[in-house]
Structure 1
């Protein structure tokens, strides 16, 4: 049962994270693509915006796919953790904890899940 639980966690978190990367990179799922995300990043002082949007999008897409597949789980988890730490420092940290005030509650939850799964391992159900 633990293996099935790990699979569910990995798929939901990993594919959601990969979807956020696709929003940044390609404008899929209602995202703004590289130019739109880059413009927003520049507006909060992250420069060069388009380059940083590309790096963030790649980290989210690759990290999410690795995490979901259970292949390179540690690498996927590190990419998730790093991206969420940057989000906390640059966007959410100043707003306090609760997500209802645009705080870092959700980011910290994703960090905990990524580290937890990396420490436990991906379980039996992995892509290869």
Structure 2
């Protein structure tokens, strides 16, 4: 690969990987700790919340570490897509597009960049390259997208049970 392209891929991996590692770390060691994450996930409708509060940071830290190192890059990209799909359909759902309003702009961007990385491959500055594996191309991109979305759909199908919100009361008509 071209050294400028390798540098660009390395920079993107260094932007995304540690970001997701820190998101996972915060779920465990942030101000609310696992208990706060459990309450948050319960409020989102993920059942059992205590289990999701533990699975999510393991996935985030693991996928972030793999992507940062450029190791098993297509798997890491699929995990990013799955995590961002779940986040979009739970925490960011119904809030519009823009992230400053709680929308899914951020999760879409992160997921799409992960698919782009799966297409480009991790570059020569990666453990995948050091081990002689060069995963790149449209097949890897499609695979990361499909595996991520299917995994997210499976998780949501078996464990997403949001509380039904009461409908707005209909105002009485005037006589």
| TM-score bracket, shorter-length normalisation | over 0.9
SS of the counterpart of 2:54?
helix
Unaligned stretches of 5+ in structure 2? 131-175
Q: State the match for 2:50 in structure 1.
A: 50
Residue 91 of structure 1: SS of its match in structure 2? coil
Greater than 6 Å deviation, 4+ residue runs: none
Question: Separation in 2 of the partners of 1:22 and 1:123?
Answer: 27
Residue number in structure 2 paired with 1:36: 36
1:44 deviation in Å?
Answer: 2.0
Equivalent-residue separation in structure 2 for 1:32 and 1:38 (angstroms) = 9
Which is helix-richer, 1 or 2?
1
Distance between the aligned counterparts of 1:31 and 1:111, measured in 2?
Answer: 27
Gaps of 5+ in 1: none
What residue in structure 1 maps to residue 73 of structure 2?
A: 73
Cα drift, residue 20 of structure 1? 0.5
Aligned to 1:97: 97
Q: Secondary structure at the residue paired with 1:63? A: helix
Larger Rg, first or second structure (1 or 2) = 2
Name the residue aligned to 1:115: 115
Equivalent-residue separation in structure 1 for 2:72 and 2:32 (angstroms) = 29
RMSD (Å), alpha carbons: 1.2
Question: Could you report, residue by residue, the CA deviation over 1:19-50 in whole angstroms, capped at 9, with x for unpaired residues?
Answer: 1111113x1xx453221101111122212112
> What TM-score results when the alignment is normalised by the length of structure 1?
0.92
1:11 has 2:14 as partner = yes
Report the count of equivalent residues: 125
Q: Distance in 2 between matches of 1:44 and 1:125?
A: 39
2:85 is aligned with 1:61 = no
Output the CA distance in 2 between the equivalents of 1:102 and 1:9: 24
